[in-house]
Amino acid sequence: MWHQYLGSLHRVINISAEQGLRGTPVEIGVAATVSQLPIVRGLAETLVLLSDFTLDEVADIRLAVDEACSTLVSVAAPGSTLQCRFTVGDNDLLVRVRGIAAAPGLPDQRSFGWHVLRTLTDEVDATQEPHDEAAAGYPTIVEFRRVRGKA
């Protein structure tokens, strides 16, 4: 069944690529668990491969997406989800990952994971909103930008 889902996902991405990926956000929502990270990484990898990023850039983006998602999974409220948005521009990729943190506080920007994000991206930022009763936690967002073809 999992392979059938990825096959369908691949067809949707191919249709989007034919119509032009640039400027059209691609979004996916997954449970905020480590077991879902391969799905998000796979989508990110496919999008950047279809968008003329180099293989080195693809590897960097895949790792940055993994780190951004892992950062939010590590603080996620039980039963919450991650919402991931990828927007391919003419020269860059914008990634926005939103999750619900169980406790207040931004990701530790002195951590190794944050260092990885800063190293692999051109811009990275984290924000957190006040407690949301409906979501039972603190909406937290990690966003980054990666420029294509940068030396």
pLDDT 10s digit of each residue in the chain, 151 long?
444 444 444 444 444 444 456 778 999 999 999 999 999 999 999 999 998 899 999 999 999 999 999 999 999 999 999 999 999 998 999 999 999 999 999 999 999 999 999 999 999 999 999 999 999 999 999 999 999 987 5
Identify residue 110 by its one-letter amino acid code: R
Report the top-level CATH class of 24-147: alpha beta
Q: How far is CA 16 from CA 6, 86, 121, in A?
A: 15, 13, 25
Look up the pTM and report it. Answer: 0.84
Unique residue bearing structure tokens 């930008």: 145
3-state secondary structure of 134: coil
